Amino acid sequence: MREDGPVSDVVTGEAVALDLRIAQLPSRLTAAVLDLLVMVAAYGGLTALVLYAGLSDADQALAAAVGLSLLALVFLGYPVAMETLTRGRTLGKMALGLRVVRDDGGPIAFRQALVRGLVGFVLERPGVLLLGFGPALGMSVAMFSARGKRIGDMAAGTVVLQERLPLRPQWTPVMPPPLAWWAPALDLTGFDDALALSAREFLGRAGELSAPAREALAAELVDEVRARTAPDPPPGTPGWAYLSAVLAERRRREEDRALRAAGRSGLPPGWYPGWPTPGGSPPGYGSPSGNASGPSQ
């Protein structure tokens, strides 16, 4: 149901999609240029210190070895160290709101950072001294990759994501009061994260869909959820209310478990997150804001 370009959804245990878009080439190129400026400045400063220390008067072979060591320290050590310590970010990526993650969405470790750094050092960064051939090669590969991967990403099993995005309202499931007596008996064993995410996405964006598409998706989701849960909802329950009740009950159980695991008292009996106050008057049975009701059951 997404229409806003390539994304990589990372789903948590509460079926919340982090909704991180794959970084686009202009952002990555800008971040790379900023990192390059940092590395060139650092290399120039270290070289000046070496010259000031009088190493230029030393043996020519020793001077060359020190120069190569400085080159590796800056152009390999900087990206590897930064991405390892900051879990996938360099100064350039921080400025552009980018982050490197594993293909499964998890944070990268030293191994992934080292592979990315080595490939970049061997194939791309020397290109700065060779009329830009190396960076052009890396960016050309990224252009033809479905997930914007350069050679280093392919070798390390990583992807660069656009981490900083404009905020948008988040839809939260609320228990329809007429279903509060029925929901505690639900068996949610088969209601996995993927199906929960689909239901959340539908209810959160139902108002953006055309009526025919909304009805068709609602019917499909309701049938799938009913096949994986028990018991069935009371007769006449609107589709949106059924889906919202299942999600709200799942959320309540997860929050209750988290509170008890932390040594605190659980949620008050008969009260669901999103209701005004524990024991207070719950909201009415009207459809969620911006969402049309689904088919009745």
Arithmetic mean of pLDDT over the chain: 78
Q: What's residue 170's pLDDT? A: 63
Asked whether the predicted pLDDT for residue 242 surpasses 90, the reply is: yes
The pLDDT value recorded for residue 184 is 92
- CA gap 241, 227 in Å, rounded: 17
Rounded to 5 degrees, what angle do the CA atoms 208, 211, 215 make? 105
- Chain segment 28-70, per-residue pLDDT in tens: 888 988 998 999 899 888 888 877 776 655 567 777 777 788 8
Answer yes or no: is pLDDT of 82 > 80.
Answer: yes
Please write the tens of the pLDDT for every residue from 126-172: 544 444 444 556 667 777 777 778 888 889 999 998 876 555 556 77
Which residues, in sequence order, are CB contacts of 237 under 8 Å at separation 6+?
A: 179, 245, 296, 297
Mean predicted confidence (pLDDT) in 10-30: 62
**Domain residue extents for the chain:** 20-162, 171-297
Does the structure show a pLDDT above 50 at 255?
Answer: yes
- Distance separating alpha carbons of residues 11 and 18, to the nearest angstrom: 7
Q: What percent of the chain has pLDDT over 90?
A: 28
For the ranges 110-119, 206-215, 287-296, which has the lowest average pLDDT?
287-296
Cut 0.75: pTM above it: no
| Lowest mean per-residue pLDDT among 15-24, 92-101, 156-165, 172-181 | 15-24
Give the tens place of pLDDT for each residue, 45-55: 888 887 777 66
Q: Name which of 119, 139, 155, 113 is nearest 31 in CA terms.
A: 139
Report percent pLDDT > 70 for the chain. 75
